[in-house]
Amino acid sequence: MGIDVVPEWMTNLDDEDVSFIKKFLLASGSLKEIANQYSVTYPTVRLRLDKLIQKIQINEDTANEPYISLIKRLAVNDKIDFETAKLLISEYKKMKGAE
């Protein structure tokens, strides 16, 4: 028996994201098939995939900046708006630069 290790790029994904990835793979990457499975439109699935891609990219781009990563994840998950996220990140960078 091996120990399950979660890859770094998956650490900020929730169970729903992982389920979506599994369905996407099992559907051979067909967004049309995923739309049918979720009973939603193709553009809705495309938007979901784009947000998932953003989540993964955020983790890759900000691995050494956990605060910035957190702010970006909050924005992608619609917990804060993008303008607020940009302001918080900008102020954080100013503060770090002053140290």
DSSP string of the chain? -PPP---GGGTT--HHHHHHHHHHHHTTT-HHHHHHHHT--HHHHHHHHHHHHHHHHHHHHTTT-HHHHHHHHHHHTTSS-HHHHHHHHHHHHHHHHH-
Domain ranges of the chain: 12-61, 64-99
Query: Would you say 59 and 69 are in contact if contact means Cβ atoms under 8 Å apart?
Result: yes
Give the whole-number percent of the chain exceeding pLDDT 70: 88
pLDDT given at position 2: 55
CA distance 15 to 98: 39
Across all residues in the chain, what is the average pLDDT?
Answer: 85
In the CATH hierarchy, which top-level class contains the domain 12-61? mainly alpha
pLDDT given at position 4: 64
40: Cα within 13 Å, side-chain hemisphere? 11
Q: Is the pTM of this model over 0.75?
A: no
Instruction: Indicate whether 28 pLDDT > 90.
Output: yes
CA distance 33 to 39: 10
